[in-house]
Amino acid sequence: MDIRNRKAYYEYNIETKYVAGIVLSGTEVKSLRAGKASFNDSYCIFNKGELYVKSLHISEYNFGTHYNHEPMQERKLLLQKKELRKLENKIKEKGYTIVPLKIFFSQSGFAKIEIGLGKGKKIYDKRETIKSREADRDIKRKYGI
């Protein structure tokens, strides 16, 4: 079960993807397993050399006690230092941003987040994306692929 950010591919040209670990509390993991997360306007930022994801909404766990988590808190991402340095240098260039693409659970049961380094699309790029998607859909419909 994975939760995808479909809007990210529409808003950004994703150049490279990374899989990062994410630091979560117990109730956050239970909410994610239930599929209760939303990527609305979420993005990643650097703070003192560490990468954090902001505006990622993980709903409170229904059966949680007073130890329940904050839904919109910053969550630390775990990457190797080499990858962090590479991303930080790319972010300094104009137009680049780091966007969360999907959250999933690895084979060993750990929560992972796929992030992408992307450049924002212009309005005409978005129109091209829509045109190509519709053309593919028409071809599939016509030839029954």
pLDDT tens digits for range 37-56? 888 888 899 999 899 999 88
E strand or H helix at 43, and its extent? strand 43-47
Scanning the chain, the segments in alpha helix (DSSP H) are 6-11, 26-33, 81-91, 123-143
Whether residue 143 is contained in a domain is answered as no
CATH number of domain containing 46:
2.40.280.10
Entry pTM: 0.81
Residues of the domain holding 48: 2-120
Whether residue 46 is contained in a domain is answered as yes
Whether residue 141 is contained in a domain is answered as no
Q: Per residue in 94-122, pLDDT tens? A: 888 999 999 999 999 899 999 999 988 88
Tally of domains in the chain: 1
The confidence band for 61, taking pLDDT boundaries of 50, 70 and 90, is: confident
Q: In which residue are the tokens 């509390």 written?
A: 25
